């Protein structure tokens, strides 16, 4: 069955520290992969996406993500976290890459807290 997993419900890091948020999917082929960020009470902002090509994807706000086919993972990273990065992060997947982009399946989200 198709699924998206974000193993970490809550992560706390100190400002300036590095960050890695995990995302795994279950699917027989390579899907389209996305990372979105949501601030409290707000909508979702697209950080980055992967469709094909270079497996290391650069996004906005200094984020990057690496697609690893062997691990069915698409982990989000940032070398130095800023206090303003505190938010909820969602990994999302579109499984039917043979058709036009459509409904996304979301992981349960990872809440990031940043200590000063």
Partner 1 sequence: GAVVSQHPSRVICKSGTSVKIECRSLDFQATTMFWYRQFPKQSLMLMATSNEGSKATYEQGVEKDKFLINHASLTLSTLTVTSAHPEDSSFYICSARSGNGNTIYFGEGSWLTVV
Q: Which residues bind partner 1 (CB under 8 A)?
A: 34, 36, 41-46, 49, 51, 90, 100-104, 106-109, 111
- Judged by beta carbon, residue 68 or residue 108, the one nearer partner 1 is 108
Q: How far is the CB of 106 from partner 1 (least distance, A)?
A: 5
Q: Which residue, 37 or 114, has its beta carbon nearer to partner 1?
A: 37
State the nearest-atom distance from the C-beta of 94 to partner 1, in Å: 8
Please, what is the minimum distance in Å from the beta carbon of residue 59 to partner 1?
A: 12
Please identify which residue in the block is written with the tokens 């419900």: 9
Q: How many helices (H) and strands (E) does the chain have?
A: 0, 12
- Burial state string for 68-106 with b = 16 or more CB within 10 A and e = fewer than 16: eeeeebbbbebeebeeebbbbbbbbbbbeeeeeeeebee
The answer to whether the CB of 54 falls within 8 A of the CB of 44 is no
């Amino acid at each position: 069955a198709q699924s998206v997993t974000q193993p970490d419900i809550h992560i706390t890091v100190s400002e300036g520290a590095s960050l890695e948020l995990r995302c795994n999917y279950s699917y027989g082929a390579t899907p389209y992969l996305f990372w979105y960020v949501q601030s409290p009470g707000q909508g979702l902002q697209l950080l980055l996406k992967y469709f094909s090509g270079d497996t290391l994807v650069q996004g906005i706000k200094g984020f990057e993500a690496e697609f690893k086919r062997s691990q069915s993972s698409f982990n989000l990273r940032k070398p130095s976290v800023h206090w303003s990065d505190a938010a909820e992060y969602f990994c999302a997947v579109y499984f039917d890459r043979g058709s036009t982009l459509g409904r996304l399946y979301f992981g349960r989200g990872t809440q990031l807290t940043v200590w000063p």
